[in-house]
Amino acid sequence: MKKNINHLLTGKEFTKKSLEDLINLANELKTERDNGVTRNDLSGKTLALLFDKPSLRTRMSFSVAMTELGGKFIEAPANLRKQEEPEDLAGVLSTYVHAVMIRTFEQELVERFASNATIPVINGLTDEHHPCQGLADILTLKQKFGKLDGLKLAYIGDGNNILHSLFVLAPLLGIDIHYSCPQKYLPDGKLIEAMSFHPEATGKIKFFNSPAEAVKDTDAIYTDVWTSMGQEAENAERLIAFEGYQLNSSLHKLAANRAIIMHCMPMVRDQEISSEMADHEQSAIYNQAENRLHVQKALLLNLLT
C-alpha cells in the first residue's frame, strides 16, 4: 500500500485524495469484518498505546484494530510511566515498536514527540484535536448518505477538539459545517487561524448565533459533552452557559427530514442530548463509535504497510 501520510497529528496531513482513499478503505474493512474476512497485514508489527487520559473507545478500538490486523499492542498508561520529556520518550519507543498512539492533554506534547520519532505517531486525542473521531464521523456520514459533497452538518455546543477536527477534515470532502456555541465557548480563534484551511477544501464553515439557525435544513446534527475531561471545576458555570443548546426533538424538527443525530460519546443523557434523541431511529451514535475501529484499521494499514 502506498503510504499517504507519515503521522496523524491534526488531520492537516491529508490531501483530498488521500482522505477519500482512507475513508473508502475503512468502508471496505467494515464489509470484510461483517463477512468474516480476516487479515494478517500487520504480523510482526507492534503498536504502543500511551494514555494520559482515561479511555474506552480509543483503547478498545486501537487494541482490536491491531489484533484483527495480525499485529500486537502494548499499553502504557501515565500511572505506570515515569515522567520524561516527549522527545526522549519518542527516541526510546522508536527503537522498540513500529508506531505510537498518544492520548494526552496538550497538542504540543504530541508535536514534540513526533519531532523526534522515527516511527509513525497517531494523535488519539488532545485538548486541541481529535482526528481519529473526525475520520469516524466522516465514514458515518458516507455510510448514511452515500456521498459527502454538498452535505450540511450542524454542530451545537462546546467549541472543542471535536469541532476543530471537523473543521480540518469535513470541508476537504465538500461538507459544510454550521456551528453554534455560546460566546465564551467558541472554538479557539488562534488555533483556527493556525490551521490554514486546505486549499482543496470546498466545504464552507459558518457560525450561527443560535442552535435553531444552525440546524435549519441540515443533514446531521452533532453535539458533545458540555464539560470535558479536565474541566470538571467549571461544570456549574458551563451548565448555565449551555442552556438552550441541548440536542432535542424541537431542534431536530428544524433540520432536514433525513437528518441523523451524532455524538462522539461518552454522553450525559438529558444534558447536552435528550435520551429521546440518543435512542432515536435516526441516531448514528453507535455507528460513529463502531467506525472508530474501521478508520483506525485503515490508518494503521496506511502507516505501517
User: Which residue, 175, 143, 98, 133, is CA-closest to 263?
Assistant: 133
The active-site residue out of 264, 288, 294, 296 is: 264
- By DSSP bridging, strand 99-103 and strand 220-223 are unpaired
CA 77 from chain centre, in angstroms, equals 20
Whether 294 is a known active-site residue: answer: no
One-letter amino acid identity for 171?
A: P
Whether 81 is a known active-site residue: answer: no
Whether 133 is a known active-site residue: answer: yes
Question: CA 281, CA 130: separation in Å to the nearest integer?
Answer: 27
Q: Which residues contact 79 (CB under 8 A, 6 or more apart)?
A: none
The active-site residue out of 52, 132, 133, 178 is: 133
The active-site residue out of 7, 129, 130, 294 is: 130
The active-site residue out of 57, 103, 129, 252 is: 103
Q: Which residues contact 178 (CB under 8 A, 6 or more apart)?
A: 152, 153, 154, 155, 206, 208, 213, 214, 215, 218
Whether 264 is a known active-site residue: answer: yes
- Residue pointed to by grid coordinates 488531520: 11
Sheet holding 121-125, edge to edge: 72-77, 46-51, 99-103, 121-125
Question: CA 63, CA 221: separation in Å to the nearest integer?
Answer: 29
The active-site residue out of 224, 252, 263, 294 is: 224
Distances in Å between the Cα of 242 and the Cα atoms of 99, 127, 255, 283 are 39, 19, 20, 22
Instruction: Output Rg (C-alpha) for the chain, integer angstroms.
Output: 19
- Residue pointed to by grid coordinates 461544570: 235
Whether omega before 131 lies within 30 degrees of 0, making that bond cis, reads: no
DSSP 1-33: -----S-BSSSTT--HHHHHHHHHHHHHHHHHH
The active-site residue out of 164, 178, 252, 292 is: 292
* Catalytic site positions: 103, 130, 133, 224, 264, 292
